[in-house]
Structure 1
Amino acid sequence: MNNAFPEDSADCAPPPRTIALVGKYHSPEIAESIRLLANYLHERGMTVLIEEETACNVISHLELGSWASGSFTWLGAHADIAVVVGGDGTMLNAARQLARYRVPLVGVNQGRLGFMTDIARSDMLTCMDDLLDGKFVPETRMLLDADVVRGERSVVSNLALNDVVVDKGAIGRMIELELFIDGEFIYHLRSDGLIVATSTGSTAYALSANGPILHPQVSAIALVPLCPHALTNRPILVGDRNEIEIRIVHATDSRAHFDGQVTVDLRNEDSVRIRRSEYSICLLHPPGHSYFAMLRQKLHWSERPKEH
């Protein structure tokens, strides 16, 4: 296994021939978008594959007999590119599933904010022309590797594109934890929890907790306390080569969350160890994409107050 981190210039494939489609489940609107995409790409001479749970959940809305379907593992082995239709949650799941196969991702937004799914449904087919002509711009996003260690044994391992969150769980009491970076003790924290976020995750939960927004080109990890008891515990940034350890000192119902989609119960004296993953994700953006323009739009920057 190669432990060297990938460079920030993504090694994305030339114009694709085989395209996987992944969609949010149980949504007639997304089923219709998948149908439109599948037919359009087929007419352009592409081989179209559909992720198996997507196919299973939209089969009552469209005819899938013409398209092969399979697991994420199967898609990873065969697809040149995956087009993800939905919101950021759908993209996060696809990214974790496909990261080890280095399949570039394209996002069509049919969710709410859509920080990572930057193609509007109304522009979907036009953007597919640019994609097939090789005009999309690649951008590499780092992921985190996280291990829950109990005693000397790793009991759970997961990837995260957005963040790893250790929190108090369902019980309304603060937890006590200790933070170490590269083995060095940093502080003892009493709070509702701690967010460990990538630049991608800096506009997710960490943003709501007053964490900084990190441009995707910034190779750093944000540590953002959740409602700390000591107001001097502020968000800090560390390098992407630093290893982070969160030790549970005392908690009643603490948990670790990976991208808000996978949850693991923690015990006192458990450790959550986090580092940059050897895997990264290549996001493909349409021509003219601007990260700052996206922030202005999604976060409503520069808007004038409404007149009453």
Structure 2
Amino acid sequence: MAPRPEIDTTQKWPQPLGVQPAPMYASPMIKPVQRVLLVGKYRDPSVLPGLQRLRDFLLTQGIPTFLETQCAADIGDSLGLPPLSFAQANADTDLVITLGGDGTLLGTARQTAQSGIPILGINQGRLGFLADLSIDQVDKALPPILEGHYQQDLRSILHAELWRGEGCLHAGLAINEVLIHKGGGENMIELRVQIDDRFVYAQRADGLIIATPTGSTAYAMSAGGPILTPTLAALLLIPVCPHTLTARPLAVADTVEVRARLIASRQPAALSLDSHYSVPLEIGDEIVIRRAPCSARLIHPEEENFFQILRSKLHWAESPGDD
């Protein structure tokens, strides 16, 4: 297959700043926080008490505290905090704290991925694999983090492009998954999937999930995929309700390029990134997915580990004395 022409791939999905390479694997970070940017779940007034509690705690600790500009526009002046945009935040000295669920953290991570600003998630949603602290843990968990004692967790990100003919119509980032699905219709779609220009299969299904290790505990897990540890350099391809009993999830190296072409659909199919935006597809459209040259930078308390999170969130049996 001939290489794609160099064209302007202007995004229609909201995009953060320019792309800068970032390593995948975590490294120790011991650096005191000098400024905190708060982000609450947008258009959700239920986060206001939690934001007030975070504001009071941080100001008591003498930490300059700001409210993200869109969040400030939603909430108004009720918190009395100065607004600060993601573009104005400083990766060397600042910390972003999100209050909401994993969706709030994912949206923030897409905005901050290229600038490398660390994110701490406070969970006020349901399961919360990424936003792993509760608001009731703030008084105990935050002081050591503000002093620079925390774990850094770099999560891989996918970059997806939607091609129609010789033009790229959309491009965007996904931290959990790229999803190609049947839209609002009842009939299956058919996709032709290639990896590094090598034919893999033509699959009839309700959809196809291309997930990162982070996304392996999201929709991919619900669709029967395996759980991957966050630092594993892999992607998952998981068909959604495939029309064959032999279809299985496939794990591949995250250095490959995945191409999925829509070859049959009785209704408008769709493409979505992290279940955030949905873009209608036409027969013949091709979605090209690669690992992005940037990472989401998440932080956690020093004593926490991935398997502890799995036990807690999935209610796995624990033995006395487990770490």
Match among 238, 261, 282 for residue 276 of structure 2:
261
> Relative to 1, partners in 2 of residues 1:138 and 1:3: Cα closer, same or farther, differing over 3 Å?
closer
Check if 1:107 corresponds to 2:121.
yes
Query: How many Å separate the matches in 2 of 1:10 and 1:48?
Result: 26
8 Å Cα contact 1:222/1:237 also seen in 2: yes
Match among 56, 63, 79 for residue 79 of structure 2:
63
How much has 1:47 moved relative to structure 2?
A: 1.9
Unmatched segments (≥5 aa) in structure 2: 1-17, 319-323
| 1:306 counterpart residue number | none
Which residue identity is paired with 1:144?
A: L
8 Å Cα contact 2:24/2:231 also seen in 1: no
| 1:241 counterpart residue number | 255
8 Å Cα contact 2:29/2:151 also seen in 1: no
Query: How many Å separate the matches in 2 of 1:42 and 1:63?
Result: 12
How much has 1:209 moved relative to structure 2?
A: 0.6
Check if 1:295 corresponds to 2:310.
yes
Matched residue SS, 1:100: coil
Which residue identity is paired with 1:302?
A: A
How much has 1:77 moved relative to structure 2?
A: 7.6
Query: How many Å separate the matches in 1 of 2:20 and 2:72?
Result: 35
Query: How many Å separate the matches in 2 of 1:72 and 1:5?
Result: 18
8 Å Cα contact 2:144/2:150 also seen in 1: yes
> Relative to 1, partners in 2 of residues 1:10 and 1:93: Cα closer, same or farther, differing over 3 Å?
farther
Check if 1:51 corresponds to 2:68.
yes
Q: Given the two structures, how large is their TM-score scaled by the length of structure 2? A: 0.88
Query: How many Å separate the matches in 1 of 2:70 and 2:92?
Result: 17
**Equivalent residues, number:** 301
| 1:276 counterpart residue number | 291
Larger CA deviation: 160-169 vs 79-88: 79-88
| 1:229 counterpart residue number | 243
Percent of matched pairs sharing the same residue: 38
How much has 1:3 moved relative to structure 2?
A: 7.3
How much has 1:170 moved relative to structure 2?
A: 0.7
Which residue identity is paired with 2:254?
A: D
Which residue identity is paired with 2:79?
A: E
> Relative to 1, partners in 2 of residues 1:77 and 1:280: Cα closer, same or farther, differing over 3 Å?
closer
Q: Given the two structures, how large is their TM-score scaled by the length of structure 1? A: 0.92
8 Å Cα contact 1:145/1:160 also seen in 2: yes
> Relative to 1, partners in 2 of residues 1:76 and 1:89: Cα closer, same or farther, differing over 3 Å?
farther
Match among 226, 229, 233 for residue 219 of structure 1:
233
Query: How many Å separate the matches in 2 of 1:68 and 1:37?
Result: 15
8 Å Cα contact 2:29/2:148 also seen in 1: no
Match among 29, 32, 44 for residue 15 of structure 1:
32
Query: How many Å separate the matches in 1 of 2:61 and 2:20?
Result: 39
Which residue identity is paired with 1:299?
A: L
8 Å Cα contact 1:23/1:30 also seen in 2: yes
How much has 1:4 moved relative to structure 2?
A: 5.4
How much has 1:78 moved relative to structure 2?
A: 9.1
Query: How many Å separate the matches in 2 of 1:79 and 1:170?
Result: 45
Matched residue SS, 1:122: helix
How much has 1:13 moved relative to structure 2?
A: 7.2
8 Å Cα contact 2:38/2:98 also seen in 1: yes
How much has 1:44 moved relative to structure 2?
A: 2.1
Matched residue SS, 2:256: coil
> Relative to 1, partners in 2 of residues 1:11 and 1:165: Cα closer, same or farther, differing over 3 Å?
farther
